[in-house]
Amino acid sequence: MAEGEEVKNKQVLFRNYIDGFPKESDMYISTENTIRLKLPQGSNGVLVKNLVLSCDPFMRLLMQKNDESGLFGCYTPDSPITGYGVAKILDSGNPKFQKGDLVWGMTGFEEYSIITETESLYKIEHTDVPLSYYTGILGMPGITACAGFYEVSTPKKGETVFVSAASGGVGQLVGQLAKLMGCYVVGSAGSKEKVDLLKNKFGFDDAFNYKEEHDLTAALKRYFPEGIDIYFENVGGKMLDAAILNMRKHGRIALSGMISQYNLAEPEGVKNLMPLIYKRITMKGFSPLDYLTRYSKFMDILLPFIREGKIVYVEDVAEGLEKTPAALVGLFSGRNIGKQVIVVSRE
Amino acid sequence: MAEGEEVKNKQVLFRNYIDGFPKESDMYISTENTIRLKLPQGSNGVLVKNLVLSCDPFMRLLMQKNDESGLFGCYTPDSPITGYGVAKILDSGNPKFQKGDLVWGMTGFEEYSIITETESLYKIEHTDVPLSYYTGILGMPGITACAGFYEVSTPKKGETVFVSAASGGVGQLVGQLAKLMGCYVVGSAGSKEKVDLLKNKFGFDDAFNYKEEHDLTAALKRYFPEGIDIYFENVGGKMLDAAILNMRKHGRIALSGMISQYNLAEPEGVKNLMPLIYKRITMKGFSPLDYLTRYSKFMDILLPFIREGKIVYVEDVAEGLEKTPAALVGLFSGRNIGKQVIVVSRE
> Mind listing the pLDDT tens digit for each residue in A123-171?
999 999 999 999 999 999 999 999 999 999 999 999 999 999 999 999 9
Across the interface, whether the CB atoms of A272 and B267 are under 8 A apart is answered yes
* Confidence band of A71 (pLDDT split at 50, 70, 90): confident
E runs forming strands in B228-344: 228-233, 247-255, 282-285, 315-319, 339-343
* Confidence band of A1 (pLDDT split at 50, 70, 90): low
Across the interface, whether the CB atoms of A273 and B236 are under 8 A apart is answered yes
Helix axes B216-223, B238-246, angle to 10 degrees: 40
Mean predicted confidence (pLDDT) in B119-125 = 94
Question: Which of B150, B166, B152, B235 minimizes the C-alpha distance to B203?
Answer: B166
pLDDT of B88 strictly over 90: yes
Q: What integer pLDDT is reported at residue B5 of this predicted model?
A: 86
A273 contacts in B (CB within 8 Å)? 236, 240, 255, 258, 267, 270
B290 contacts in A (CB within 8 Å)? 280
pLDDT of B2 strictly over 80: no
For residue range B275-309, list pLDDT tens digits in order. 999 999 999 999 999 999 999 999 999 999 999 99
Question: Which of A121, A60, A93 minimizes the C-alpha distance to A325?
Answer: A60
Most A CBs within 10 Å, among B151, B217, B283, to test the A interface: B283
The sign one gets for the Cα dihedral B112, B114, B117, B123 is positive
Tell how strand B160-163 and strand B184-189 pair up: parallel
Q: What integer pLDDT is reported at residue B53 of this predicted model?
A: 98
Across the interface, whether the CB atoms of B267 and A273 are under 8 A apart is answered yes
ipTM topping 0.90: yes
For residue range A254-300, list pLDDT tens digits in order. 999 999 998 998 999 999 999 999 999 999 999 999 999 999 999 99
Minimum Cα–Cα distance from B275: chain A residue:
A69
pLDDT of B326 strictly over 90: yes
Mean predicted confidence (pLDDT) in B4-27 = 95
CA angle A165, A166, A172 (to 5 degrees): 135
Distance between B15 CA and the closest CA of chain A, angstroms: 25
The rounded distance, in Å, linking the Cα atoms of A4 and A2 is: 6
Beta bridge partners of B319: B343
The rounded distance, in Å, linking the Cα atoms of A15 and A28 is: 7
Across the interface, whether the CB atoms of A286 and B272 are under 8 A apart is answered no
Q: Name the helix (H) or strand (E) containing B143.
A: helix B140-146
Q: What integer pLDDT is reported at residue B212 of this predicted model?
A: 98
Across the interface, whether the CB atoms of A281 and B284 are under 8 A apart is answered yes
Chain A residues touching chain B at CB-CB below 8 Å: 68-71, 236, 240, 255-258, 261, 266-287, 290
pLDDT of B70 strictly over 80: no
Neighbours of B198 (CB within 10 A): 26
Q: What integer pLDDT is reported at residue B227 of this predicted model?
A: 98
| Contact between residue B316 and residue B341 where contact means Cβ atoms under 8 Å apart | yes
CATH 2.40.30.20 fits A6-136+313-343, yes or no: no
Across the interface, whether the CB atoms of A271 and B266 are under 8 A apart is answered yes
Which of B269, B271, B276 lies at the smallest CB-CB distance from A283? B276
Minimum Cα–Cα distance from B67: chain A residue:
A278
Question: Which of B202, B193, B248 minimizes the C-alpha distance to B225?
Answer: B248
Q: Which CATH superfamily is domain B6-136+314-343 in?
A: Medium-chain alcohol dehydrogenases, catalytic domain (3.90.180.10)
Distance between B345 CA and the closest CA of chain A, angstroms: 33
Buried b (16+ CB within 10 A) or exposed e, A9-31: bbbbbbbeebeeebeeebbebee
- As annotated, the residues of chain A forming the CATH 3.90.180.10 domain(s) are 6-136+313-343
pLDDT of B162 strictly over 90: yes
CB pairs under 8 A between A and B: 106
The rounded distance, in Å, linking the Cα atoms of A203 and A176 is: 7
What three-state secondary structure class fits B63? Answer: helix
Across the interface, whether the CB atoms of B271 and A267 are under 8 A apart is answered yes
DSSP secondary structure string for all residues of A305-318: HHHTTSS---EEEE
Which of A68, A278, A287 lies at the smallest CB-CB distance from B70? A278
Beta bridge partners of B121: B105
C-alpha to C-alpha distances, A178 to A156, A185, A285, nearest whole angstrom: 9, 7, 19
Q: What integer pLDDT is reported at residue A70 of this predicted model?
A: 74
- CA B286 to centroid of chain Cα atoms: 14
Chain B residues touching chain A at CB-CB below 8 Å: 68-71, 236, 240, 255-258, 261, 266-287, 290
For residue range A176-223, list pLDDT tens digits in order. 999 999 999 999 999 999 999 999 999 999 999 999 999 999 999 999
Amino acid A185 reads: V
For residue range B243-274, list pLDDT tens digits in order. 999 999 999 999 999 999 989 989 999 999 99
Distance between A336 CA and the closest CA of chain B, angstroms: 23
Mean predicted confidence (pLDDT) in B183-206 = 98
A68 contacts in B (CB within 8 Å)? 274-275, 278
Calculate what percentage of chain A has a pLDDT beyond 70.
Answer: 99
Which of B266, B269, B273 lies at the smallest CB-CB distance from A258? B273
C-alpha to C-alpha distances, A214 to A198, A209, A223, A246, B159, nearest whole angstrom: 21, 11, 15, 16, 45
- As annotated, the residues of chain B forming the CATH 3.90.180.10 domain(s) are 6-136+314-343
* Confidence band of B1 (pLDDT split at 50, 70, 90): low
Mean of all residue pLDDT scores within chain B? 96
| Contact between residue A43 and residue A93 where contact means Cβ atoms under 8 Å apart | yes
CATH class of A140-289: alpha beta
Which of B267, B274, B285 lies at the smallest CB-CB distance from A258? B274
Across the interface, whether the CB atoms of B267 and A266 are under 8 A apart is answered no
Q: What integer pLDDT is reported at residue A87 of this predicted model?
A: 98
Across the interface, whether the CB atoms of B273 and A278 are under 8 A apart is answered no
* Confidence band of A67 (pLDDT split at 50, 70, 90): confident
Q: What integer pLDDT is reported at residue B3 of this predicted model?
A: 66
Distance between B74 CA and the closest CA of chain A, angstroms: 14
CA angle A230, A231, A236 (to 5 degrees): 165
Calculate what percentage of chain B has a pLDDT beyond 70.
Answer: 99
- As annotated, the residues of chain B forming the CATH 3.40.50.720 domain(s) are 140-289
B247 contacts in A (CB within 8 Å)? none
Mean predicted confidence (pLDDT) in B194-198 = 98
Across the interface, whether the CB atoms of B276 and A285 are under 8 A apart is answered yes
Q: What integer pLDDT is reported at residue B128 of this predicted model?
A: 96
Mean predicted confidence (pLDDT) in B228-242 = 98
pLDDT of A3 strictly over 80: no
Minimum Cα–Cα distance from B58: chain A residue:
A278
pLDDT of B90 strictly over 60: yes
Minimum Cα–Cα distance from A235: chain B residue:
B274
Calculate what percentage of chain B has a pLDDT beyond 90.
Answer: 94
Minimum Cα–Cα distance from B285: chain A residue:
A277
Which of A266, A274, A290 lies at the smallest CB-CB distance from B258? A274
